[in-house]
Chains A and B, each alone.
Chain A
Amino acid sequence: MTTTPEHTSAVPLRVLDHNDIFRDEVYQKQFEGKREFEDAAPKEEVQRVLDWTRGWEYREKNFAREGLTVNPAKACQPLGAVLAALGFEGTMPLVHGSQGCVAYFRSHFARHFKEPVPAASTSMTEDAAVFGGINNLVEAMENITALYKPKHIAVSTTCMAEVIGEDLFAYIGAAREQEVIAQDFPVSYAHTPSFVGSHITGYDVMLKGILEMLAKSPDADASKVAKSDKVRLNVIPGFDTYVGNHREYKRILELMGVDPLILGDHSSSLDSPADGEYFLYPGGTPLAQGALAKFSRASLVLQESTLRRTAEYIQKDWKQDTIVLETPLGVKGTDAFLTAVAKVADVEVPAELTAERGRLVDAITDSHAYVHGKRVALAGDPDLVIALTRFVLELGMIPVHIVSTNADPTFKARMEKVLSASKFGAEATVWPEKDLWHLRSLVFTEPVDLLIGSMQLKYISREANVPLVRVGFPIFDRHHLHRFPIIGYAGGLQLLTQLVNTILDEMDRTAPDHSFDAVR
């Protein structure tokens, strides 16, 4: 029996789907019968190997890997380039190379944001691999202009285009010469080989490409800066998949009496209202404002590893005060951010934010007993993992394993600085460039109470029976987390709530009857 009749009209028949239906005896027999044809290893042998993969001997073999990568927590450059492009008004990301890549980028982001993700490909195939893809790029520009009417096209590359050495600058010039786009139509570009760095590198070089283009555009005219008694600061969040963060940065700076300009603001483009009409370009940093960014008083760069080239460019070319901070997560992270803003903009931190700080601290005091001493493993992009580590240390948690597949050479030193600032950091081991199969070995040989990272850690979570707090990217399997901020005091409260309630859920789930407390 797979269904039971229901008499309510809203659910006319209770139907069992894949979650339940295969528990049925008919299927259990089927699965057992199928083994005859599989020539499968005996169950005892599978169990023996399984146990072995969870031990120290396997861990050592696993860490001795020199070529193999298993379940890495990183993606490739053009993915980041697409996100950077979507942070700007009316911008169509165009990725030059094979078309499958763009299908992947669009689905990857759609699964995370639950939003439409416009991005086009130049659809290069074998002939373009031989003769070059100039015609593909020119026709792409023509078709995009006619069908999707962008205000700006941001071009990046797939590895195919990079391996054959495509010249984007020349090709974009050809598109102008052939008049498929106007001479002054804004096009920015970045070479984003997927065999160098990761998605955060691609974000960086594409953002830099866009800012360079805007800074040279006719709109980049000091006389166009609106007169205001407020200091304008550029905020550069980086490869930040929390649209709530962009809004929170804006809110915080406005409360401080500062005029914030977010560079790469995908909070509207990747979180648009459902109201019956679809808009291809629902938001992004206005291009005209982006062009004026070099006249702002300073730039706040909030992902050091991710935004290295962008920061360098702003400092050298714009000769702007470039303030590189760890991503402002938690109390001290946000304190440092507000202090820096107050200093550079010459403003006071308003009472409202001080009260917010107090509320976060209050919440931490309420929850501290449950988080204190909890052993955690963290994984993710380097900047996020550093900021998260600092936050969990504030809570009295003990980071044990810290993995960042796409860490750069500065990661370890920065992380150790954070760890050494707290006695709770003494046990931590830092694993740059390792993947989640390494993390699996770490978690099985040296167990933890909690995992913090993307949904890709869910396999370890289930297998090792350790709860996972989903933070970072991608998160495909839980809804709406990315719509709330995790930065600032408000974001700290959001993270704290997730952390403490995950621990409490686990405590309730595993508690003996007598300890199943009504009050926690």
Chain B
Amino acid sequence: MTTTPAPTRAETEAMIAEVLGQYPTKAAKFRTKHIKANDPEGSKECEVKSNIKSRPGVMTIRGCSYAGSKGVVWGPVKDLVTISHGPVGCGQYSWATRRNYAHGHLGVNNFTAMQITTDFQEKDIVFGGDAKLETVLDEIVELFPLAKGVSIQSECPIGLIGDDIEAVAKKSAKKHDIPVIPVRCEGFRGVSQSLGHHIANDAVRDHVLGTGGGTFEQTDYDVALIGDYNIGGDAWASRRILEEMGLRVIAQWSGDGTLNEMKSTHLSKLNLIHCYRSMNYICTTMEERFGTPWTEFNFFGPSKIVSSMRKIAEFFDDEIKAKTEAAIARYQVRFDEITKAFRPRLEGKRVMLAIGGLRPRHTIGAYEDLGMEVVGTGYEFAHKDDYTRTYSMLKEGTLLYDDPNSFELEEFAKHLKPDLMGAGVKEKYVFHKMGIPFRQMHSWDYSGPYHGVDGFAVFARDMDIAINSPAWDLLEAPWSKAGEVA
């Protein structure tokens, strides 16, 4: 394996210019703002623009507002029925694919891995779908009696045909005496999944937050785990650490979460947010409305886990701090075992990432703990505040790209020749053809958890599986002339 030295800022800028040179003038002008060589100081000239419309036709990897609301925030709440309101496709394509694990029996007291839809037909578009929605809500209550409520996730047509889902929801909620939450997350709103997160948070704020309590006794150590979607069991692995620190997790948002947990979260003494991008809104709201402090943390990899545990413990008394230190000491044995096994196999390997709104920065430490280096990273749907959190984590000259598309990722990979690419399923097979090891970093490639101590072992193992598979040695046929295969 050849090791390529890290490019300087000037070299990275030259590479960016070369790639952007292939764009038409108009699109090049826009894309220039989104791709930069990193300056750890976060200087103005290196600032990455974000949360701006994707250019048509470039094959953006972004999704939509509905994906952000239904797929990310609301879908994982297990005891609510989530309706994909509109035509059949959206709910079909997002059915069970995000791997938000949850306990409970599907269709009885767990409605996560199901596709429940109003399946709009032409007549619903022409005459409006409110009557059908009302019928559907009645039928849900009858067929799923243990559902604690319903959320209505709007697909594109809803906002275009003038349906009044708020009125239907209100009427139905009253009739059935359960929360029915209308969410205006039509896919054409905003520029990516991100607005969907925001709209979803606002719907939680308006319909759920602060409406519960009284189902359990409170303690001084009550915390809420926010922005963990329990992909492959992430939230469970994170919760384990928090419990071993002596804290009590009273709510999980929203992986394996329940309506009651969301309703009771205002009783939390501290909100702990993992995915800042998708749930910072609700933390701010709770701070304003209930005075609940919140803090960001990172449970990817030993360095960040340890520093995050200490940061969280600072909010509590000496007993928690002592338990935290004891836990760290125990974990260190495991961390050493894992890094001893995997680091020699991964040392010096170079990684390119293109993920959603958190992991392009949050996983950097975990890679570094294994001796790997992130040489290019960027977000699908980040905002400015995500980039300001990113610059200082990377070396000068590291490639940063916002809303990277298929063309750019392929071109940059050809230049940077990473040993590992981490992105989504749409990107995965492109890199397999190119002979570049790949891990899906949205779904954990059907593995996981990656959070927490237990998750780090799986993370390290999976990166090793990807990079050190003998499959990559098979690409070239023995009779292919050198140079003929790129």
Contacts and interface: CB of A to CB of B under 8 A. Distances in A.
A47 to B, nearest CB: 9
A110 interface: yes
A62 B23 CA distance: 54
A62 B188 contact: no
Interface stretch (B137-145, B284-292, B382-390): B137-145
Interface in A459-479: 459, 463, 476
A2 B122 CA distance: 54
A459 B60 CA distance: 33
Contacts of B283: none
- Most chain A CB inside 10 Å of its own CB: which residue of B57, B216, B239, B334: B57
A398 interface: no
B475 to A, nearest CB: 5
A501 interface: no
- Most chain A CB inside 10 Å of its own CB: which residue of B145, B161, B457: B457
Given A2-B454, A68-B136, A123 B117 contact: no
Interface string A131-164: 0000011011111101110000000001110011
B207 interface: no
Interface in B340-382: 341-342, 345
Interface string B205-245: 00000000001100000000000000011001101100100
Contacts of A106: 426
Given A37-B251, A159-B155, A195-B120, A68 B58 contact: no
Interface stretch (A91-99, A209-217, A234-242): A91-99
Interface residues of B, number: 128
B24 A142 contact: yes
B191 A125 contact: yes
Nearest to B159: A129
A37 B86 contact: no
A229 to B, nearest CB: 35
B170 interface: no
Interface residues of A, number: 108
Interface string A83-122: 0000000000010011111011111101100111111111
A349 interface: no
A12 interface: yes
Interface string A434-465: 00010010000000000000001001000100
Contacts, number: 353
A275 B237 CA distance: 38
B59 A120 contact: yes
A224 B389 CA distance: 62
A2 B448 CA distance: 13
Interface string B17-59: 0000011101100000000000000000000000001111111
Contacts of A139: 26-27, 55-57
Interface string B119-130: 111101100000
A39 to B, nearest CB: 4
Contact of B63 (A70, A103, A141): A103
A26 B237 CA distance: 10
A98 B54 CA distance: 11
Nearest to A406: B88
B109 A67 contact: no
Given A37-B258, A110-B429, A118-B406, A103 B61 contact: yes
A380 B486 CA distance: 41
Contacts of B306: none
A37 B215 CA distance: 7
Given A18-B232, A124-B188, A437-B107, A195 B157 contact: yes
B278 interface: no
22 contacts: A12-B342, A13-B337, A40-B258, A58-B143, A61-B143, A66-B139, A68-B143, A70-B116, A72-B117, A72-B119, A78-B89, A97-B188, A108-B92, A116-B430, A117-B426, A121-B59, A146-B22, A147-B23, A148-B407, A159-B89, A160-B187, A277-B434
Interface of A: 2-3, 5, 12-13, 15-18, 21-22, 26-27, 30-31, 33-34, 36-41, 45-46, 49-50, 53, 58, 61-62, 65-72, 74-76, 78-79, 94, 97-101, 103-108, 110-111, 114-126, 128-129, 136-137, 139-144, 146-148, 158-160, 163-164, 193-196, 198, 272-279, 437, 440, 456, 459, 463, 476
Given A75-B88, A100-B65, 16 more contacts: A21-B449, A26-B240, A27-B236, A31-B103, A38-B258, A69-B116, A74-B88, A76-B92, A110-B426, A119-B59, A159-B155, A159-B156, A163-B161, A193-B125, A198-B88, A278-B433
